[in-house]
Amino acid sequence: MTVVDRTFLVVGVAALSAAIAFGGLWDRQSRAAFATGDASSDSGVQEAYADALEVVKANYAGATEIETVNKYAILGMLRVLDPHSSFLDSREFSELRNEQQSQLIGIGVTINPRNGRVYILSAVPGTPAEKAGLRYGDAIVGVDGKSTEDLSYGQVVAAVRGERGKSVAITVDRVGVPEPVTLTIVRESVPLPTIRNHFMIGSTVGYVGLTAGFSSTTDSELGQAISDLQAEGMQQLILDLRRNPGGLLDEAIKVAQRFLPAGERILIVRGREGGSREERIYTSKNDSPESMPLVVLIDDGTASASEVVTGALQDHDRALVVGQTSFGKGLVQTVFDLNFETGLTLTTAKYYTPTGRSIQRDYANTSLYDYFLHRTMTIPDADATIGEPLLTDLGRQVYGGGGIRPDIKVDEPAGTTLRGRLFGSTFEFARHLVAGQFSGLRQYRIDAVDFNHTFRGDEYKITDDVIAAYRQFIAGRQKDFPVTDAQITANLEYVRNRIREEVITAAYGTDVGGQLSILNDVVAQRALEVMSQASEMAENARALRDRQ
């Protein structure tokens, strides 16, 4: 058994979602089985497991896959420890390694589940998917001759990925083409950047979307993004960490110290008392940090390594934090290589922000399902239940015990059944619109993607004629999208924005489509409004350091 000690891997939520979904079930079953055996004896437990396995093999009515049974037995054992220790089979472990190196083996396509099917939103430039001709709006209806009708989104993703150099046959339903189209594509190593978007908002504010974890290239990606934006005149920065599930801790340290001067504490890591890593303090080594005003965006998907960055910047008053309370993961995992190319991510330490606050949410007496979906999440307030508040460099109060609370709370619009129907219907309409299916609206037909387009802000405005076509389209699809004309009128701005985002994505790819989405984002808009506060706070913190 070998410890992979790059330093630590702070495991994010998304990377282990498949294992997590089943872990709680096996946890409960394991507890029941152990209660009837000799729980005080390792040999007794081993014999009980062996006996149970023999009973399963001899009597189970379905197919018995011993490798799968063993996998979830290990997961059940680990779930007794904490929600984030996990076992990875060879495929999952290989994918984790590739993601750490900002690579994956696949065809190079962005896909998403919508309206009960899995759709292609964009191919990645230069990848096998683009060369093969996969395009926006294609519905994946088959993989290697097998229908995807009864497959989950995760199962479709797993089927599309595979071994480098091996081909995969993708069958798609394409608007305007009467029969499904099958394309045979050879899988390759394709880039998986952690910064999916960076661009200017106006003349002085830059936006960086660090939303896809922390891999071995994250800090260099951020450096390049900042350099690009500064060349365009950036003087203020919005760093978006929403939905960022975490990743490599050393990359999180590097990102934090880009904005913190040398000597400033970034993180405290405390291992088991008496262990090999009792305590380690990480400090910035940057003699010339970035000094521009900074706003960090977070939400309940901001976890682990991204919370390390946010906590350090907030504790030193280097950034104003805007959005929703973060996930609350303060446990650190180390990766262990096991036999048969499998791996183990084991919690070996806890981390604390510079002020000494732990942000790990309580996971006792709750199921994994509730824990990961925040169903039992409580946000600590300034009361006796969490003790005295801790103070930032400027004396602002911050609290531990359940994620990082933003300095300025902004709730994103709540999802409703109606919004879900409007979202699905505008996507389906846009599929037909960009395929040229509406007479009089041929200017919206997209025949090829311009991945090099620089967004100006005036492209593909949604006219009243487009809205009229949408109303007529939905009127004929009431079984699929039960939305009334009055509901469309009441949500007209949302409908216009949604259709335009889809058309922009079809025309220029997901990066440019994402830019338009951010410009319509209430949290990002609030960040622009409070940038002057971030500037004042950063200046006050700098003045305080100079006096010390």
Three-state secondary structure of 16-53: HHHHHHHHHHHHHHHHHHHHCCCCCCHHHHHHHHHHHH
User: 434 pairs with which residues across the strands?
Assistant: none
Identify residue 443 by its one-letter amino acid code: Q
Provide the b/e sequence for 56-76 (b: ≥16 CB within 10 Å): eeeeeeeeeeeeeeebbbbbb
Pick the catalytic residue from 30, 304, 326, 367: 304
Identify residue 211 by its one-letter amino acid code: T
**Residues 168, 170, 171, 176: is their CA dihedral positive or negative?**
negative
* CA geometry: angle 26, 30, 34, nearest 5 deg: 180
Annotated active-site residue 146? The verdict is: no
The SS3 call for residue 334 is strand
Annotated active-site residue 315? The verdict is: yes
Pick the catalytic residue from 315, 393, 407, 521: 315
Q: Which pairing describes strands 408-409 and 294-298: parallel, antiparallel, or unpaired? A: unpaired
Annotated active-site residue 220? The verdict is: no
Task: Quote the tokens at residue 367.
Answer: 């199921």
* CA geometry: angle 227, 232, 237, nearest 5 deg: 65
Pick the catalytic residue from 94, 299, 306, 329: 329
Task: Count the neighbouring beta carbons within 10 Å of the beta carbon of residue 392.
Answer: 20
Neighbour order of strands in the sheet with 320-323: 195-201, 205-210, 236-240, 294-298, 320-323, 408-409
Output phi, psi for 403, to 5 deg: 85, 175
- Return the CA Rg of the chain: 25
Q: Cα(406)–Cα(343) distance, rounded to whole angstroms?
A: 35
Helix (H) or strand (E) holding 193: none
Q: Known catalytic residues? A: 304, 315, 329
